[in-house]
Amino acid sequence: MGLLDGKVAVVTGGANGIGRAVSLGLAAAGAKVVVNDIGVSVDGRNPSSQPAESVVRDIAAAGGQAIASIESIATTAGGEAVVNTAIEKFGDLHAMVCCAGILRERMIFNMSEEEWDAVIAVHLKGHFAVWRPATRYMREKKRGCLIGFTSTAGLEGSPGQPNYSAAKEGIVGLMRSTALAMAKYGVRANVISPEAQTRMTDRLPDTRRTQVAAPPEGIAPVVAYLASDRGAHITGQVVHVRGNQVSVWSHPAPLRTATRADAWTPEALADVWDTALGQDRLRRLDRMNIPWPPPGQTS
């Protein structure tokens, strides 16, 4: 008996890297899987149906059930079609997992509108495009699971990925909104922040690649658990996974507060800010050896 016997799952971006590992892992746990992937390169070009069909064959060879879907989840029509495929082919939908993603890396001052739009469309709009029809179905069934994928690039920032970072942080906001909206229907929503070695991380500098050198297969058990009935009480969470390490990250909350009897003036704030409020320091400033404040500035 598998933890997901009788369940139907959709995995967007399910043919490469983390998505492939998740598709295989869900099938191994007993789920019927729709492997959605348009088979593009890391930057979103050169589509092909072969990657999704290859994963389907691997699942079938292991005794599981799966079908390929090559709809683009960067459009709402594509998202609707992916959800409809699961319902029409397998008769149900229990878990919607969003792994699809591309990269168009550039510093913000050099980024084009097309580079921005393409990444936002696949990552952030791609979650919305499948979650909207999935929640409509799950609301009627009074159960279901949505699992999105964020990134430390969104949670902590990444200087050469403003589009990707914005999309990944946006996915967290979408997840929290969805978790609140769907709680009364028994539907949960969570996101995973993975660190794993994939074709996306192959583009990183050697020092950063070492930090994420964990196999993508480590993500799949966490997805399978969250998608299962045993994980049905968990919602609204950011779960970080790196190899054998699983962490639950905190939600934003006030760190320090300053109040004043009279209205604040800029000068009054300048007098007390550093002692009363300070900063919540960007963790990656230190990890990337970026000095702040800049040399010559007072702290």
Query: Tens digit of pLDDT for each residue in 271-282?
Result: 999 999 999 999
Q: Rounded to a whole number, what is the distance in angstroms from the first to the last CA of the chain?
A: 59
Of the listed 7, 32, 125, 168, which one is catalytic? Answer: 168
8-249 topology per CATH: Rossmann fold (3.40.50)
For residue 209, is pLDDT > 50? no
| Annotation says 151 is catalytic | yes
Query: Tens digit of pLDDT for each residue in 161-191?
Result: 999 999 999 999 999 999 999 999 999 999 9
Place of tokens 């320091």: 281
Of the listed 151, 158, 165, 228, which one is catalytic? Answer: 151
* Nearest of 183, 100, 90 to residue 135 by alpha carbon: 183
The reported pLDDT for the residue numbered 55 is 97
Please name every residue paired with 34 in a beta bridge, in sequence order, or none if there are none: 10, 67
Positive or negative, the CA dihedral 65, 146, 14, 245 is negative
Query: Tens digit of pLDDT for each residue in 46-91?
Result: 667 899 999 999 999 999 999 999 999 999 999 999 999 999 999 9
Mean pLDDT of the chain: 92
What is the pLDDT confidence band of residue 297, given thresholds at 50, 70 and 90?
A: confident
| Annotation says 250 is catalytic | no
Within 10 angstroms of residue 101's Cβ, the number of other Cβ atoms is: 24
| Annotation says 32 is catalytic | no
Of the listed 164, 165, 193, 228, which one is catalytic? Answer: 164
The sheet carrying 95-98 orders its strands as: 66-69, 32-36, 8-12, 95-98, 144-149, 187-195, 238-242, 245-249
CA distances from 38 to 15, 82, 120, 163, 250 (A): 9, 12, 17, 21, 34
Query: Tens digit of pLDDT for each residue in 222-262?
Result: 999 999 999 999 999 999 999 999 999 999 999 999 999 99
More confident site: 45 or 265: 265
Q: What is the model's pTM?
A: 0.90
* Nearest of 94, 92, 119 to residue 105 by alpha carbon: 119
What is the pLDDT confidence band of residue 205, given thresholds at 50, 70 and 90?
A: low
CA distances from 108 to 39, 55, 111, 293 (A): 27, 36, 5, 21
Sequence ranges of the domains in the chain = 8-249, 255-299
